[in-house]
Amino acid sequence: MTVTNVNFLLADNNKLRDYILELDTKDFNEKIITIENISQIKTDLSLKTLKSILEGRLFIRKEDRKIILVDIIKRKYNAYDFFQETELGIVKKRKLKKIKINNQIRNILNSKIAMLELTSGTTEQKIKAIYDIIKEGNPEVLKIINELLSEEKNKELIFSLNLAKNSILARFGNQTEKLKAIASLAGNTNNDIVNILRTIAEDKSLDKNIKIEANNSLQASLRNIKFNNIIKTTFFGLSLGSVLLLAAIGLAITFGVVGVINMAHGELIMLGAYCAYVVQQLIPNNISASIIISLPVAFVFTGFVGILIERVIVKNLYGRPLETLLATFGLSLILQQIVRSIFSPLNKTVYSPEWMSGITRIGGLELTNNRIVIIIFALLIFLIVIYILKKTIFGMQMRAVTQNRKMASAMGINTKKIDMFTFAFGSGVAGVAGVALSQITNVGPNLGQNYIIDSFMVVVFGGVGNLFGTFIGAFGLGLGNKLLEPYVGAIVSKIFILLFIIIFIQFRPKGLFSLKGRVADE
């Protein structure tokens, strides 16, 4: 920074200090003039000043007229130097004077803050400021919007600026401007735009042609909102379906091949999620790398745990489903307690990388990036598992054991070894599912319990051991759940889904797609 720039900065800070001190008056009209002067400085510090006034954090210390920021925590006034941002400790309330405002000044502050953010900050901050302007509808901003439109090259910002411009002209323009602006707003699904169109359409004092145009634009917007809601519901259904698929695919492998009712499957998912947490603690400075590395780590670790479970517990209980269920249920409780002892009962947060954060906007539709990635990831895992089962020697041997264990053994396949590796493979896939789930929910000892029942429902509905059936079952139940939710609520929709499955298996006990083979037909 050059000496000239430093001098300009000091001059701005001194001017800003004088203006803030002028706010210490009971005359609200004078305060409005001073706020206008502060907004003309157009620096980050002037924006900070306006925001601090609006938030009620800006104070003047009586004894030396020092400008400070205050955070009130448990009735204690924690003070900070406004310009230097250094801590000043706890200050008594009676030694401070707050910059008081009324509703009129609040509205002015919102407008000035939005105008300052329009000319500075990131693209997201600018877009937020533009939508604040749409809500406020201040015609004074039109001049700034036109100036920005003449210089702006970012397509998203140009679209948002035009939207703000037309929303203002629709309310405050002349007859021709209003008609043109209203027509341009047709079909927009933003709530503030819809409310503007509704207000214009219902305003009896306006010209008939303007009201007709506003009503036509409003109807187009309402139709788009209805369509977007359908797309959103479908998206959330696919999102839930992908989560169910990830949670159930490992269970479908172990349940279908080995025939074991593994009640500890949810805890294997939970262990996978904790693998993501541990790796992120080891690589805290690169979240993207930590998430990618945690996938093979979770697969190997939970696969190894699966081998231990199969060798120590399950191998002695084949053909005894009730004992297996009880043993694995007890194991699930043990695993939960081990995790509580190591990591504590409190939930842990696994942070998402930038490419999984935020929202993707498609027209008026907003879709969360993390769920889009989860859907793609679930499909990818499904295709990898299908490839392993169809194109590898291990997959062929696994399918041979599934269809006819005695014949596979007679052909020289070590069925006990296949059982062990199948259990490990299914457990590893469960661990990978846990990594994915860590991106959409908190990681805790009870994470697996939220998915074990749903996983069994998906496997039973799709057909035990049939991966294609698991795929159809997961997305079918996910979509069905989300389609019912808007009408009956989340809890009742789950009850309906459960009742549907109970009724369904009365007529098709083997699920949608039953296994083919001599043993399967017995």
User: So what's the pLDDT on residue 363?
Assistant: 67
Give percent of the chain above pLDDT 90.
Answer: 20
Assess contact for 445 and 346: CB atoms under 8 A. Answer: no
User: So what's the pLDDT on residue 431?
Assistant: 92
* Residues 420-438: tens digit of each pLDDT: 888 899 899 999 999 998 9
- Summarize the confidence of residues 467-473 as an average pLDDT: 87
Of 214 and 251, the one with more pLDDT: 214
Q: How confident is the model at residue 2 (pLDDT cuts 50, 70, 90)?
A: very low
User: So what's the pLDDT on residue 6?
Assistant: 39
Which of 83-87, 361-365, 418-422, 517-521 has the least mean pLDDT?
517-521
User: So what's the pLDDT on residue 223?
Assistant: 92
Q: How confident is the model at residue 337 (pLDDT cuts 50, 70, 90)?
A: very high
d(CA 35, CA 52): 12
Which residues have C-beta within 8 Å of that of residue 182, sequence separation ≥ 6?
A: 166, 170, 197, 200, 210, 213, 214, 217
Q: How confident is the model at residue 272 (pLDDT cuts 50, 70, 90)?
A: very high
Instruction: Report the chain's C-alpha Rg in angstroms.
Output: 31
Of 261 and 308, the one with more pLDDT: 308
Which of 179-183, 203-207, 429-433 has the least mean pLDDT?
203-207
Place of tokens 């191998």: 315
Q: How confident is the model at residue 8 (pLDDT cuts 50, 70, 90)?
A: very low
d(CA 455, CA 461): 10
Which residues have C-beta within 8 Å of that of residue 99, sequence separation ≥ 6?
A: 20, 23, 24, 53, 58, 59, 60
User: So what's the pLDDT on residue 501?
Assistant: 86
The domains of the chain are located at: 3-104, 119-227, 247-452
d(CA 484, CA 110): 40
Residue 271: phi, psi to the nearest 5? -65, -40
Q: Is the predicted pLDDT of residue 180 greater than 90, yes or no? A: yes
User: So what's the pLDDT on residue 502?
Assistant: 85
Query: Taking all residues of the chain, what is their mean pLDDT, rounded to a whole number?
Result: 85
Assess contact for 445 and 461: CB atoms under 8 A. Answer: no
DSSP structure string for 158-214: HHHHHHHHHHHHHHHS-HHHHHHHHHHTTT---HHHHHHHHHHHH-TTS-HHHHHHH
d(CA 156, CA 345): 44
Q: How confident is the model at residue 10 (pLDDT cuts 50, 70, 90)?
A: low
